[in-house]
Every structure is written in C-alpha cells, then in structure tokens.
Structure 1
Amino acid sequence: MVKTLWLSLKANWPGRMQHRYFSIAPWIAILLVLLVFSPLLPGLFWVLQPVFKWDVWLALWQDPQWPEAVRTTLFSALLGSVLALLMALGIAVQCYPGHRWWRIQQRLPLFLSIPHVAFAIGFSFLIAPSGWIARAIAQFTGWISPPGWITVHDDYGIALALALAVKECGFMLWVLFAVLSEQAISRQMTLARTLGYRPVQVWWFILLPQLMPRLGWPFVAVLAYGLSVVDMAMILGPTNPPTLAVLISQWLTNPSQMMQAQGEAAALVLLVLLLCLVVAGRGLWRCRLVFSPYPSGHRQSVSSRFVLSLHPLIFGMGHLVLLFLAVWSLAGAWFFPQLWPEELTFRVWLQASFEPFFTTLWLGILACILCLPITLCWLEWGPQRYNALLYIPLIIPAMPLIAAQYAALLHLRLDGTGAGVVWSHLVWVLPYMILTLVGPYKAFDPRLLTTARALGFSRLTACLTVKWPMLFRPAMASLAIGFSVSVAQYLPTLFAGGGRFNTVTTEAIALSAGGSRQVLAVQALLQILLPLVVFAIAAWLPVWLSRNRKGLC
C-alpha cells in the first residue's frame, strides 16, 4: 500500500521538482548532523570563557589534590592502554592465522557486550579484601578476617589500570580482526613464513610497521577513554585524591563558580595531556623505524609461548565477572572466608527496583531510533571526507565535551529534561553507529543501485527498496552497538539529567560507594542483560526476516 502510494506520487511529481529535492539532500544530511553536534560549539565557548582568567589557573595549580590526581591519571591511563595493546598484539602473534584466531573472533562479541561499569564491579568483587582471591588464599593461610593490606582503591591506580587493560584488550582485538582480514596481510605472513622467519620476526619486521599506523587512532581512543574515565575510576580508582576525571566531575557539580571554572580548566588540561602523549608516541614510533628499519636476514629461533596464557586470561576474566555477579545477586549470608554463600535466594531480585532498567531501555531505544536515519542519510548523501570530524568525540577525553554539553543545556534551560538527556546520549551514539556502518556501506555493490536507477527509481526509492533492505543486518548491528553505548553513559546522564533520571549505570555506581553487594550485583547484571538482549535480537531478526529470501542478509 505504502509502496503503491509512493510510486503514484513519483509518477505525478515533475522531474524538475525531483531534481531540486535530491539536490538539497546533502544539505539535509548535514543539517541533521549539525542538530546533534552544533550545540556543543556555544557550549565550548561558554566553558572556555573562565579558562582565560589567571586566578582560575592559579587556584588549579595550588589545589593540594592536583599533582597526585595528574600523576595517578597518567599512570593508570598509560599502563592500561599500553597493556591492552600489548596483550592484543600478543594474542594475534600467537593465534593468527589459524583456527584459534577465528574461535577468538566468535567469542569476542560476548566479551565486548559487557559494559565497563559491570566489568569493574565484577573485577572489584574478585580483588577486594573480601573477594574471591582473598577467600581462596584464606583456605591455605587460615585468615579469619580480610587482610588490611589488600585494597581495591590503591594510591597508584593499578587496579584501575589492570581492569582497563583487560576490557580494552577486547576492543583492540576487534580492530585487529578488521585489519588482519585483508588478503594482503595474510599473503605477506605466508610468504615470510616460507622464507624461514618465525612468527615474532614476521610481526616485528613486516606486519607491525604496516599495522601500527592503522592502530594509531584506535589506541588514541583507548588512551582518551583511560584519561577521562569516571565510572570505572569511582569503582576501582584511588579516592584521596581521586583521578583527575573524577576530580573534574566533582568540581563541575560544585555550587561555587570558582570551583566550576577550575573544573573547566582541568578538563582543558586533559585534552592537552592527550595531545602531548600522542606527539610523544609518534616520536617513539619514528625512532623505532629509524633504528630498526629492515630485517637483518637472520632466522632466529624465537618462541611465542609467553603469550599462551593471555587468550584464556582475557576471556576467562569475562566469564568470571559474569559468575561473580550472578552468585552475589543470589547470595544470602556469605561471611569471610567462605568460598560459597550459605544459601542462594531470589529475595534480592524480587525486592529490586526495576525503574532504572526501564529508564535505560527507553533512553537507549529513543537514541537509536533518532540516530539510525541520521546515519543512513549521512552515509548516503553526506560529504564522507568529513567523517573524521564526527569521530572526534571518540578520540578525545570526554570531560571537555561533557562540560560543553552541560553549559549548553543550562543556557537552553533543558537540564533535567528528557530531551536534554537524550541529546546528551546522541553525541556519543551517533559517531559509534556511523563508524560501525561505514564499512558495510562502502562495501555495498554500487551496480545494484545503478540497476535500480536504470529501471526508473529515484535514488531515495532505490535506497528504500533495494540498498537499505540489503544492509539490514549491518544496520541492526549498528543499532545494537549504539544501544550498548547509550546504556553505558554515566556522566552525560548525570549532568544532563540533574540526578532526575536513574539508569542502571548511575544506580550501579551510586551503590558501589557503599551499598549492598547483592543489590549492586543485580543492577550490574541488568546493565549486562540489556545489551545482550539487543545484540541477540540484532542477530536473530535479519535471519528471521530473510528466511524466504536467500542471500538477502
């Protein structure tokens, strides 16, 4: 019915009007994207105004928490990011190519679907003074109370760095899967192996010089996240003083205008720190290329057994996190040093509040529904050379953008409203959806669209009836990723919502400060459950819809 009506309108629509409509399609795509990102520009202007005052910077340098916060932030972010990259490369060196590499690819989506907050909570249950590691040691040492020297919130942020390394290793592996799937890389590996080089030599002399420039921006994204992460730092990071990102969030929510200006200046410092680290990293890589440009020709008997334990460690940690959360959500009385609770009960589940669950659900659904048409319009008609500008929220510390969002919402009087919270999510959901869908969109066979145009269809009709239905599977994957990004948003929800919108993420972080472990585990599992269900629907729905259309999806 709808298709018949559309064809009737198309037949009666003058050709000049069609041409005029589709000539403004790129401007429509640009306008839709500007509606999401343009409020950030005046927000950044308002945020940067106090930064030009000398007394703000003087107060920042004289703050007693400032030096320790910067040191802890740099240490945890650098250690976590470098370890994530090294572990991902170590697994690739050991397993690529081969059946283990493809088995890792099949298991990776489940690991990636675990939100950072839920992973941090499960990780804290593992390493806490009364966690399972201490309980297991107590079986042999005879401890009757948790040891005082074991702590989650260490002064150097080591626990935070380890959690970041394990979680972000999955992201770096996902990037490596995309890069190593190219035929040229596989042929170079095969050729070098036939010449007698060991896998480590092949990676060091041949593959890494090609891969590292392409892994640069993903690594910068991981480093930027480590510098500006707040939710994981509140659960695993030091507390006195906290990391710089947590300190900035406290200053920005302070009623004092001077403290708010101090937080805005510190957010700018985070951006400068990232730029300095990027420049230093590029310099180190250039030095490596200068001092070791070509292979010497010696075939060394180098073994890669040292990475054998990394693969089960990464995925085993994800399974343990799920197990810890499930057991704690069902635990009754569970005293140290017992390895297992005295009873398992559903009492906490029956008494749990599901209001944050439904708030998270409608926020994620609304954000994805708004972002999907914007993504499709941009990829079809938008100027693709500006895609890198849309990825800026992913590769810079989030704190300056969150401060700009908050300032814009305050001036527009949209803080504490549902519209403001949804818009605060769009700034991060839209870049991820575009990044996920741009690859399949470019790989689409253009001859199919040309054939539809030759049969008399306009470009919009060809997209609605041919191109977009054939891209339904990657579009659903993009929706699932966008939904998981929306679920994980903590600071945008907290700042834009003014504390009026409780999601599973904000609730879990609030409970991590001293709430019941059972209730905390329930909220963490609900945070994991939402993305898992959406990912399952995204995988099942295209198969079900195309059951009678072989080869469509």
Structure 2
Amino acid sequence: MRYPHFLLLVVAIVIGLPMLVIIPSLSELLWSVDLKQVIRELIQYPGFFTMLSQSLLTALISVVVVTGLTLISARYLVALKQSGQPTNTQNTQHSWLGILSMPHLAFAVALLWLAAPTGWLWRLIPVETPWMPWFDRQYLVSLWIILIAKELPFMWFMALRALQQLPLDRWLLIGRSQGHSETRTWWLIVIPALVQRLRLPLCVVAVYSLTVVDLALFAAPQTPAPLAVQVVQWQLEFNPLSQQLAAVGSVVLALLAGLVCGWVRLQEWVLFTWAQRLLSRAMTKGEWILLNISRIGRVLPSVFTGLALVLLVALITLAHGRGWFYPALLPQQWDFTLWINEWLFLANGAWRAFWIAVAVASISLVLCILTAEWQRARRQKIPRALLLLPLFIPQVFLILVWIPWTDTNLFWVAWAHVPFSYAYALLAYLPAEERFEQRYLQQSQTFGYSFWRAWWLVKRPLLKVPLLTAFALAMLVSIAQYVPTLLIGGGRVSTLTTDFVALSSGSNSSMQALYALTMWLLCAVVLVVLKPRASAAREGEIQ
C-alpha cells in the first residue's frame, strides 16, 4: 500500500482533529469563568440532583436490561450460526438492520400511541382502567422502555457479529467431553467470552442512554429534565451564566460517562466470576432455572419484528385519522390532506437530511477503508476504543467544545456528523474486513495491478455486503442526529429530525405522527436502495 503516512494523516485530520481540540477548548471553557462560583450555582440549581439521578438511573437500567435480554437471546443466534445456511444468518442481519432503520423518535411516537393509557392497545382490551400507566408522556419509565426496545436490535446485530468470531462448535464439544450439558457450557464458557466482545457496544449503549436528548425531550419528565436536556437548554439561552452552567454541566456528563462505562466493566467481571465459581461446583435449582431461561430468548427477535410492523400501522393510522376520541377503536374519518398541507416543509427537511447523510456516509466509508488498510499495511491495530471514542464521550460535551471552532452552515453540520457515523460504520465493517484473506489482494498485485486497483477489482466485490451495510448504517446515524444539527447549525440548518423535535412539544399528535412516518420512510428508502445491491453480492461475501 503506497502513501500510508498520507492516508493516516487524512484520517487523523478528519476524525482526530475533533478529539485534539477538546483539551484547549475545555481549558478555555473552564478557566474563562469563575469555576468555583459556577459549580456552586450548578449544585444549587433547582432539581440538579434529580436531573443527575434521572440520567444515571436511565443509563444503568438500560444497560443492565439490554445486557440480560441480549444474552438470553444469544442461543437463538447460535442456532442460526450452526444451521449451516449462511443465507439465514445474512437475512437475519438485514432484518435487524431494517429494525435499526426505524428512527428512534418515530419508534417513540408509535409506541406511546400504542400503549399510552388512552392509546390503541387499551381501546382493544375491554378494561376500564389501564394497568400499565408507564407509557405516558413525560414519564421516566416510558423513556427506559423506549431506550431498551430501540437498543436491543443494535445489540443483537453486534452479538451476531461477535458470535461469528468464536469457535462455538469446539467449545461446546469440549464442554460435552467434560460432562457438562450444552446449556451449562453455553452460559459458563461462551457467555463470558461473548460479554467481553460486547464490552464496547455496551459502553456505547450506556453513554447514549445517559446523554440522549431528543428522546428525553419527547418522553422524559421536563420538571426537571434529565441533565443532558438541561445542558442543551442552558446552551440555547444565550446568557453568560447559562453558558457557563452548560459548560460545567457537560463536564459532569463526561464524568458520568466514565462511571457508566466502569459499570459495564463491573457487570462483565461479576458474570465472569460467577461463571468461574459455578464451573467448580454443582448447580443449585435456582441456578439451573436461570440457565434454562435462555429458551425464552428464542422468541424475542421474532416478537420485536412483529412489534415493528404493528408500530408502523399505528403511525399510519394516527397520521391520517381525524376525530379519533377515546375509547373509539377507529377514527371517525380518514384524511390525507395533511400530506398536501405539509409537503413543502416535509420535502425540504427530508431532502436536506438525505443529502447530508449521503455526504457523511461517503466520507465515513472512505475513512473506514483507509483505517482498515492502514492497519494491514503497518501490521498494527489501532485500539478499537480509540476509533470509537466519539461514542464514549457525551455528544453534548463534544459539540460544546467544537462550537468555537465551527460556523453555522451546512458544511460544519455535516462535518459534525462524521465522527459519529464513522464510528458506527466501523462497527459494521471492521469485523468482516478482519476476516478477509489479504493474500487474494497480494496475488492480484503480482499481475501488475496497483494496490487500489487490485482493491477495487478483488476486495471490494468480496466485501460488498459489509461495505453497503456500513454505508447504510452511517446514513441512518446521520439522519437521526439532533444535537449536532441544532447546536452547530445554530438554528439555521434544519432537518427532518430537528423539525420533528420542535413539533414534539405541541399537542397535535397527527402532525407528530406525520413527521415520524416521513422519517421512517426516508430511512426505509436508504435500505430499499442498498439492499438489492447487497443481495446481489452475497455469494461473494467472505464468511
């Protein structure tokens, strides 16, 4: 590979520069204010400790529940891998990618409409009082459930990728030869190894749950709001004290992010220690029940796929129903004029979001390829945690330290999306790329092809599926970005996501459903366009 240092420099400038500016920006941010006074104001701010506890509790509960549900579902993933039919595994990955394509805001609107105390579900069930008031607006448990339901497909996707790299057949055979059942071997040998490989994705889930803003604006309490939401509101108030509170509050979020990542490491250690002790003694009845509970996990992916279809139907009906009063099962009339009235606004936001996403995904994919090829050329591996660093630092914190270095235009908004899309694209591309036999590329170079010519003719077709998957994931991440678009754009650059969040504080549920449905359709277009190309390349994918 020629010019490896130049390629590394390109990656460092585009991705590393945002990381490098943190230190001087943070120093200027903190030392330009009376730090002790601002900290005192922050602590005395009404509801500060409630904000803190809401954010921390949301992150811890989300990561614990998502970890548990991912692990008890993993036996289903093993069954797919051991079926001997790669098409099944690939179809499942694309199915979950389709679920991942659901914008989390659209998912939240549909789920709240379906399960709220006056929602569609309770109109179907003949009860006088709903026994699950959790799915109400501005209720913290609603935020937990939405986050868990939306993060599960991502973790299944990452778990399936991790399981493909483990010698499961050999481990299960060794377990049987030692007199252990397959279930016992699975939980005590395979699961600890799987959890170790899922450490970084779980940290991503934990930090996202801690610092999510758009979902929290829609579903969480606002009196007081979670800390990340309040930091954004302080930043938008444009008075010196509020700006200082936002700066110090973002640092508090960064410290909490380190704490929740430490929690992920702690739960991994607890599971590993439990497995080691259980291997050396007989199981109790309670432990035997716990190990066999994984059978329940087989139905979770199918249930979730069915839920996605129900939520889509719920969005369509809510967007087009008029005169729909509780407890009527269906609206009094159907009306499609809202599309016509809002089409100009919808089209502008969707068109801008789409082209930003195309540019961001293209840059992210090129950077993924350069990163992977540089590692192979140098025979060095950049630590995965360093490559994914934008996902481990609170987004609000990063954006606040980037604001002095940027301008409020389309270029800088797209640039602010790149680190996050690049990190998610790496998660999809690197595992497949690392399994590629580089000798194919080397053999083609012996015929006189340059490195990149050989890469285009040989490696690109064989890795077309992970390349397209990474591109699609990068686009979906860019479309969903709210905080970078709002703060870097300064209100001058709007997308479908920012328009929807602006509407979410109102009471017009049909309008919210219409924007949510448009977001869903925009993400679906990305997959519909890319999936046929991936399907045509499946036979060439390196397993």
Partner of 1:526: 518
Q: What RMSD in Å do the two structures reach over aligned CA positions?
A: 2.9
Partner of 2:458: 466
Partner of 1:60: 42
Partner of 2:336: 346
Partner of 1:475: 467
Structure 2 counterpart of 1:164, one-letter code:
L
Distance 1:378 1:288, change over 3 A: closer
Mapped to 2, the partners of 1:277 and 1:40 lie a distance apart of 21
Partner of 1:140: 127
- Asked whether the equivalents of residues 180 and 186 of structure 1 are also in contact (C-alpha less than 8 Å), the reply is no
Q: CA deviation at 1:495?
A: 0.9
Q: Which moved more, 1:193-202 or 1:87-96?
A: 193-202
Mapped to 1, the partners of 2:488 and 2:458 lie a distance apart of 39
Mapped to 2, the partners of 1:278 and 1:483 lie a distance apart of 26
Partner of 2:62: 80
Mapped to 2, the partners of 1:166 and 1:502 lie a distance apart of 28
Partner of 1:17: none
- Asked whether the equivalents of residues 160 and 233 of structure 1 are also in contact (C-alpha less than 8 Å), the reply is yes
Any idea what the Cα deviations from partners look like across 1:327-346, whole Å, max 9, x if unmatched? 11221221111121122232
**1:371 aligned to 352, 364, 370, which one?**
364
Q: Structure 2 matches for 1:430-449, cutoff 5 A?
A: 430-449=422-441
Q: Which moved more, 1:499-508 or 1:454-463?
A: 454-463
Structure 1 counterpart of 2:13, one-letter code:
L
Q: CA deviation at 1:183?
A: 5.3
Quick check: 1:403 aligned with 2:400? yes
Distance 1:430 1:332, change over 3 A: same
Mapped to 2, the partners of 1:288 and 1:371 lie a distance apart of 35
Any idea what the Cα deviations from partners look like across 1:65-91, whole Å, max 9, x if unmatched? 211101111112211221111111122
Q: CA deviation at 1:248?
A: 0.8
Mapped to 2, the partners of 1:28 and 1:204 lie a distance apart of 43
Helix, strand or coil at the partner of 2:311: helix
Mapped to 2, the partners of 1:365 and 1:29 lie a distance apart of 23
- Asked whether the equivalents of residues 39 and 408 of structure 1 are also in contact (C-alpha less than 8 Å), the reply is no
Quick check: 1:267 aligned with 2:250? yes
Any idea what the Cα deviations from partners look like across 1:459-511, whole Å, max 9, x if unmatched? 23322333334433322222111110110101111111111222111111111
Structure 1 counterpart of 2:325, one-letter code:
F
Helix, strand or coil at the partner of 2:333: coil
- Asked whether the equivalents of residues 29 and 374 of structure 1 are also in contact (C-alpha less than 8 Å), the reply is no
Mapped to 2, the partners of 1:407 and 1:245 lie a distance apart of 20
Mapped to 2, the partners of 1:147 and 1:92 lie a distance apart of 31
The TM-score with structure 1 as length reference comes to: 0.85
Partner of 1:108: 96
Distance 1:291 1:329, change over 3 A: closer
Q: CA deviation at 1:148?
A: 13
Distance 1:126 1:433, change over 3 A: same
Helix, strand or coil at the partner of 1:500: coil
- Asked whether the equivalents of residues 230 and 245 of structure 1 are also in contact (C-alpha less than 8 Å), the reply is yes
Q: Which moved more, 1:42-51 or 1:335-344?
A: 42-51
Q: Which moved more, 1:483-492 or 1:303-312?
A: 303-312
**2:219 aligned to 219, 222, 236, which one?**
236
Mapped to 2, the partners of 1:287 and 1:543 lie a distance apart of 41
Any idea what the Cα deviations from partners look like across 1:381-402, whole Å, max 9, x if unmatched? 3565325322101223222112
Q: CA deviation at 1:432?
A: 2.0
Distance 1:328 1:432, change over 3 A: same
Quick check: 1:385 aligned with 2:381? yes
**1:120 aligned to 108, 127, 141, which one?**
108
Partner of 2:163: 180
**1:253 aligned to 236, 246, 264, which one?**
236
> Is there any run of 5+ residues in structure 2 with no aligned partner, and where?
none
Partner of 1:19: none
Distance 1:367 1:283, change over 3 A: closer
Partner of 2:14: 35
- Asked whether the equivalents of residues 46 and 404 of structure 1 are also in contact (C-alpha less than 8 Å), the reply is yes
Distance 1:48 1:318, change over 3 A: farther
Mapped to 2, the partners of 1:193 and 1:479 lie a distance apart of 42
Q: Structure 2 matches for 1:18-29, cutoff 5 A?
A: 24-29=3-8
Mapped to 2, the partners of 1:47 and 1:407 lie a distance apart of 11
The TM-score with structure 2 as length reference comes to: 0.87
- Asked whether the equivalents of residues 237 and 243 of structure 1 are also in contact (C-alpha less than 8 Å), the reply is yes
Mapped to 1, the partners of 2:362 and 2:260 lie a distance apart of 37
Quick check: 1:130 aligned with 2:118? yes
Helix, strand or coil at the partner of 2:334: coil
Q: Which moved more, 1:197-206 or 1:321-330?
A: 197-206
Partner of 1:69: 51
- Asked whether the equivalents of residues 505 and 527 of structure 1 are also in contact (C-alpha less than 8 Å), the reply is yes
**2:501 aligned to 491, 509, 523, which one?**
509
Distance 1:458 1:285, change over 3 A: closer
Any idea what the Cα deviations from partners look like across 1:518-542, whole Å, max 9, x if unmatched? 2211211221122222122222125
Any idea what the Cα deviations from partners look like across 1:197-244, whole Å, max 9, x if unmatched? 455533332222222221211111100000010011111111100111
**1:46 aligned to 25, 28, 44, which one?**
25
Any idea what the Cα deviations from partners look like across 1:160-215, whole Å, max 9, x if unmatched? 11111111111111121112224512332355357664555333322222222212
Partner of 1:3: none
- Asked whether the equivalents of residues 43 and 408 of structure 1 are also in contact (C-alpha less than 8 Å), the reply is no
Q: Which moved more, 1:187-196 or 1:326-335?
A: 187-196
Q: CA deviation at 1:357?
A: 0.9
Percent identity over paired residues: 26
- Asked whether the equivalents of residues 36 and 423 of structure 1 are also in contact (C-alpha less than 8 Å), the reply is no
Count of residue pairs the alignment pairs up = 519
Structure 2 counterpart of 1:177, one-letter code:
L
Q: Structure 2 matches for 1:420-435, cutoff 5 A?
A: 420-435=412-427
Any idea what the Cα deviations from partners look like across 1:81-133, whole Å, max 9, x if unmatched? 21111111122246642569958556322211112111112122123343223
Mapped to 2, the partners of 1:154 and 1:202 lie a distance apart of 44
Quick check: 1:327 aligned with 2:327? no
Structure 1 counterpart of 2:304, one-letter code:
I
Distance 1:385 1:183, change over 3 A: closer
Mapped to 2, the partners of 1:287 and 1:470 lie a distance apart of 40
Mapped to 1, the partners of 2:181 and 2:96 lie a distance apart of 27
- Asked whether the equivalents of residues 124 and 235 of structure 1 are also in contact (C-alpha less than 8 Å), the reply is no
Distance 1:189 1:319, change over 3 A: farther
Q: CA deviation at 1:288?
A: 5.0
- Asked whether the equivalents of residues 473 and 538 of structure 1 are also in contact (C-alpha less than 8 Å), the reply is no
Distance 1:452 1:525, change over 3 A: same
- Asked whether the equivalents of residues 91 and 307 of structure 1 are also in contact (C-alpha less than 8 Å), the reply is yes
Q: Structure 2 matches for 1:260-339, cutoff 5 A?
A: 260-287=243-270, 289-290=272-273, 293-294=276-277, 295-296=279-280, 298=282, 302=289, 303-304=292-293, 307=297, 310-339=300-329
